[in-house]
Amino acid sequence: MSKLNNEAAPPNVETIFGQTIEMHCHRQMDVPEGWRPAFLDALVALNAVKCAKRDNLILLSPVVRHDGVHVQASGEDAVVDGICRKLRHRTRYTCRKCGRPGHARRLPLDVRVLCGSCAAPRAMKAKIEECMASLTRSAESGLDRLITFDEMPPQLRATIPAAAWQKVASGNGQGTYCTTQSELRKLTGHWRHLLLALESVTADLE
Protein backbone atom coordinates (compact mmCIF):
# COMPACT_ATOMS: atom_id res chain seq x y z
CA MET A 1 0.00 0.00 0.00
CA SER A 2 2.97 2.29 -0.70
CA LYS A 3 0.93 4.76 -2.73
CA LEU A 4 -1.44 5.33 0.15
CA ASN A 5 1.37 5.67 2.67
CA ASN A 6 3.15 8.17 0.43
CA GLU A 7 0.11 10.41 0.33
CA ALA A 8 0.28 13.27 2.84
CA ALA A 9 -0.79 11.26 5.88
CA PRO A 10 -1.03 12.88 9.31
CA PRO A 11 1.67 11.98 11.87
CA ASN A 12 -0.68 9.61 13.73
CA VAL A 13 -1.53 6.85 11.28
CA GLU A 14 -2.47 4.37 14.02
CA THR A 15 -6.13 5.39 14.07
CA ILE A 16 -9.20 3.26 13.55
CA PHE A 17 -9.98 5.12 10.33
CA GLY A 18 -6.43 4.64 9.04
CA GLN A 19 -6.43 0.97 9.98
CA THR A 20 -9.68 0.29 8.18
CA ILE A 21 -8.34 2.00 5.04
CA GLU A 22 -5.31 -0.31 5.29
CA MET A 23 -7.60 -3.32 5.75
CA HIS A 24 -9.57 -2.33 2.64
CA CYS A 25 -6.35 -2.20 0.64
CA HIS A 26 -5.64 -5.80 1.64
CA ARG A 27 -9.12 -6.71 0.39
CA GLN A 28 -8.51 -5.30 -3.10
CA MET A 29 -8.27 -8.77 -4.65
CA ASP A 30 -11.90 -9.33 -3.63
CA VAL A 31 -12.84 -6.58 -6.08
CA PRO A 32 -13.25 -7.48 -9.79
CA GLU A 33 -10.22 -6.52 -11.84
CA GLY A 34 -11.99 -3.89 -13.91
CA TRP A 35 -13.24 -2.12 -10.77
CA ARG A 36 -9.96 -2.32 -8.84
CA PRO A 37 -8.47 1.00 -10.10
CA ALA A 38 -11.59 2.88 -8.99
CA PHE A 39 -11.47 1.10 -5.63
CA LEU A 40 -7.81 1.99 -5.06
CA ASP A 41 -8.40 5.59 -6.15
CA ALA A 42 -11.14 5.80 -3.53
CA LEU A 43 -8.76 4.50 -0.86
CA VAL A 44 -6.17 7.11 -1.83
CA ALA A 45 -8.85 9.81 -1.56
CA LEU A 46 -9.95 8.49 1.84
CA ASN A 47 -6.37 8.37 3.05
CA ALA A 48 -5.93 12.00 2.01
CA VAL A 49 -8.79 13.19 4.23
CA LYS A 50 -7.63 11.51 7.44
CA CYS A 51 -7.83 13.92 10.35
CA ALA A 52 -8.49 13.94 14.08
CA LYS A 53 -12.26 14.21 13.75
CA ARG A 54 -12.31 10.99 11.69
CA ASP A 55 -9.97 8.98 13.93
CA ASN A 56 -12.75 6.71 15.16
CA LEU A 57 -14.66 6.43 11.89
CA ILE A 58 -14.87 2.85 10.63
CA LEU A 59 -15.07 1.83 6.97
CA LEU A 60 -17.26 -1.24 6.68
CA SER A 61 -16.04 -4.10 4.49
CA PRO A 62 -16.38 -3.48 0.76
CA VAL A 63 -19.45 -5.12 -0.76
CA VAL A 64 -19.26 -6.13 -4.42
CA ARG A 65 -22.74 -6.08 -5.92
CA HIS A 66 -23.99 -6.52 -9.46
CA ASP A 67 -24.10 -2.73 -9.90
CA GLY A 68 -20.73 -1.76 -8.43
CA VAL A 69 -18.53 -1.59 -5.33
CA HIS A 70 -20.17 -0.33 -2.15
CA VAL A 71 -18.15 1.01 0.78
CA GLN A 72 -19.90 2.58 3.75
CA ALA A 73 -18.70 4.41 6.87
CA SER A 74 -19.94 3.66 10.37
CA GLY A 75 -21.02 7.27 10.89
CA GLU A 76 -22.19 10.24 8.88
CA ASP A 77 -19.42 12.24 7.21
CA ALA A 78 -20.18 14.29 4.11
CA VAL A 79 -16.65 14.04 2.68
CA VAL A 80 -16.25 10.30 3.23
CA ASP A 81 -19.79 9.66 2.01
CA GLY A 82 -19.02 11.65 -1.14
CA ILE A 83 -15.91 9.57 -1.88
CA CYS A 84 -17.87 6.34 -1.37
CA ARG A 85 -20.71 7.62 -3.54
CA LYS A 86 -18.25 8.51 -6.33
CA LEU A 87 -16.85 4.96 -6.14
CA ARG A 88 -20.34 3.46 -6.52
CA HIS A 89 -21.12 5.73 -9.47
CA ARG A 90 -17.81 5.09 -11.21
CA THR A 91 -18.05 1.30 -10.94
CA ARG A 92 -21.69 1.35 -12.01
CA TYR A 93 -20.56 2.52 -15.46
CA THR A 94 -17.29 0.59 -15.69
CA CYS A 95 -16.86 -2.95 -17.04
CA ARG A 96 -16.08 -5.17 -14.08
CA LYS A 97 -13.82 -7.34 -16.21
CA CYS A 98 -11.64 -4.96 -18.24
CA GLY A 99 -12.28 -1.47 -16.86
CA ARG A 100 -13.67 0.04 -20.05
CA PRO A 101 -16.96 1.97 -20.04
CA GLY A 102 -19.90 -0.38 -19.53
CA HIS A 103 -23.40 -0.66 -18.18
CA ALA A 104 -25.62 -3.22 -16.46
CA ARG A 105 -26.48 -6.10 -18.76
CA ARG A 106 -29.00 -8.82 -17.95
CA LEU A 107 -27.50 -12.28 -18.19
CA PRO A 108 -29.32 -15.62 -17.90
CA LEU A 109 -28.99 -15.81 -14.11
CA ASP A 110 -28.07 -12.32 -12.97
CA VAL A 111 -26.98 -8.81 -13.96
CA ARG A 112 -23.38 -7.72 -14.59
CA VAL A 113 -21.81 -4.38 -15.51
CA LEU A 114 -19.89 -5.13 -18.71
CA CYS A 115 -18.69 -3.45 -21.88
CA GLY A 116 -19.86 -4.77 -25.25
CA SER A 117 -16.68 -6.78 -25.87
CA CYS A 118 -16.81 -8.59 -22.55
CA ALA A 119 -20.57 -9.15 -22.70
CA ALA A 120 -20.53 -10.66 -26.21
CA PRO A 121 -19.00 -14.07 -25.31
CA ARG A 122 -21.39 -14.49 -22.38
CA ALA A 123 -24.38 -13.55 -24.55
CA MET A 124 -23.27 -15.95 -27.29
CA LYS A 125 -22.82 -18.77 -24.78
CA ALA A 126 -26.32 -18.20 -23.43
CA LYS A 127 -27.88 -18.16 -26.90
CA ILE A 128 -26.11 -21.37 -27.96
CA GLU A 129 -27.29 -23.15 -24.82
CA GLU A 130 -30.82 -21.85 -25.32
CA CYS A 131 -30.92 -22.91 -28.97
CA MET A 132 -29.50 -26.37 -28.27
CA ALA A 133 -32.06 -26.95 -25.51
CA SER A 134 -34.85 -25.89 -27.88
CA LEU A 135 -33.59 -28.25 -30.60
CA THR A 136 -33.48 -31.14 -28.13
CA ARG A 137 -37.09 -30.51 -27.12
CA SER A 138 -38.24 -30.30 -30.74
CA ALA A 139 -36.43 -33.55 -31.63
CA GLU A 140 -38.19 -35.32 -28.77
CA SER A 141 -41.50 -34.01 -30.13
CA GLY A 142 -40.68 -35.04 -33.69
CA LEU A 143 -40.93 -31.44 -34.94
CA ASP A 144 -38.94 -29.95 -37.79
CA ARG A 145 -40.27 -26.47 -38.42
CA LEU A 146 -38.82 -23.71 -40.56
CA ILE A 147 -36.82 -20.99 -38.81
CA THR A 148 -36.35 -17.65 -40.57
CA PHE A 149 -33.10 -15.71 -40.63
CA ASP A 150 -34.68 -12.97 -38.52
CA GLU A 151 -35.73 -15.51 -35.90
CA MET A 152 -32.16 -16.66 -35.31
CA PRO A 153 -30.33 -14.73 -32.59
CA PRO A 154 -27.75 -12.39 -34.17
CA GLN A 155 -24.99 -14.10 -32.17
CA LEU A 156 -25.65 -17.44 -33.93
CA ARG A 157 -26.22 -16.37 -37.54
CA ALA A 158 -22.50 -16.31 -38.36
CA THR A 159 -22.07 -19.87 -37.05
CA ILE A 160 -24.58 -21.29 -39.55
CA PRO A 161 -23.12 -22.19 -42.97
CA ALA A 162 -24.67 -20.66 -46.07
CA ALA A 163 -25.68 -24.11 -47.32
CA ALA A 164 -28.08 -24.49 -44.38
CA TRP A 165 -30.21 -21.56 -45.61
CA GLN A 166 -32.78 -21.74 -48.37
CA LYS A 167 -34.83 -18.96 -49.88
CA VAL A 168 -38.55 -19.43 -49.37
CA ALA A 169 -41.20 -17.41 -51.19
CA SER A 170 -43.11 -14.99 -48.98
CA GLY A 171 -46.26 -12.95 -49.39
CA ASN A 172 -44.44 -9.75 -50.38
CA GLY A 173 -42.75 -11.47 -53.31
CA GLN A 174 -39.28 -10.83 -51.90
CA GLY A 175 -38.72 -14.22 -50.32
CA THR A 176 -36.99 -14.88 -47.02
CA TYR A 177 -34.11 -17.08 -45.99
CA CYS A 178 -34.99 -20.00 -43.76
CA THR A 179 -33.42 -23.09 -42.28
CA THR A 180 -34.91 -26.06 -40.48
CA GLN A 181 -34.50 -27.46 -37.01
CA SER A 182 -33.07 -30.66 -38.49
CA GLU A 183 -30.36 -28.62 -40.26
CA LEU A 184 -29.54 -26.82 -37.05
CA ARG A 185 -29.22 -30.11 -35.18
CA LYS A 186 -26.31 -30.95 -37.49
CA LEU A 187 -24.45 -28.00 -35.96
CA THR A 188 -24.69 -29.13 -32.34
CA GLY A 189 -21.20 -30.69 -32.42
CA HIS A 190 -19.74 -27.41 -33.68
CA TRP A 191 -21.65 -25.45 -31.06
CA ARG A 192 -20.39 -27.74 -28.29
CA HIS A 193 -16.82 -26.91 -29.32
CA LEU A 194 -17.72 -23.21 -29.24
CA LEU A 195 -19.17 -23.63 -25.75
CA LEU A 196 -15.92 -25.16 -24.51
CA ALA A 197 -13.97 -22.22 -25.89
CA LEU A 198 -16.41 -19.73 -24.39
CA GLU A 199 -16.24 -21.39 -20.97
CA SER A 200 -12.67 -20.19 -20.43
CA VAL A 201 -13.59 -16.65 -21.47
CA THR A 202 -16.68 -16.35 -19.27
CA ALA A 203 -15.59 -18.37 -16.22
CA ASP A 204 -14.40 -15.31 -14.26
CA LEU A 205 -17.82 -13.71 -14.62
CA GLU A 206 -19.64 -16.48 -12.77
Q: What is the pLDDT of residues 183-196, one digit of tens each?
A: 999 999 999 999 98
Average per-residue pLDDT for the chain: 87
pLDDT over 80 at 204, yes or no: no
* pLDDT value at residue 201: 75
pLDDT tens track for 116-172: 999 988 888 889 999 999 999 989 888 888 999 999 998 899 899 999 999 888 766
The reported pTM is 0.70
Distance of alpha carbon 62 from alpha carbon 81, whole angstroms: 14
- Tens digits of per-residue pLDDT, 54-101? 999 999 988 999 999 999 999 899 999 999 999 999 999 999 999 999
* Dist CA 154 CA 133 (whole Å): 17
- Report the C-alpha gap between 52 and 57 in whole angstroms: 10
Give strand ranges (E) for the chain.
63-65, 68-70, 103-106, 111-114, 146-148, 166-168, 176-180
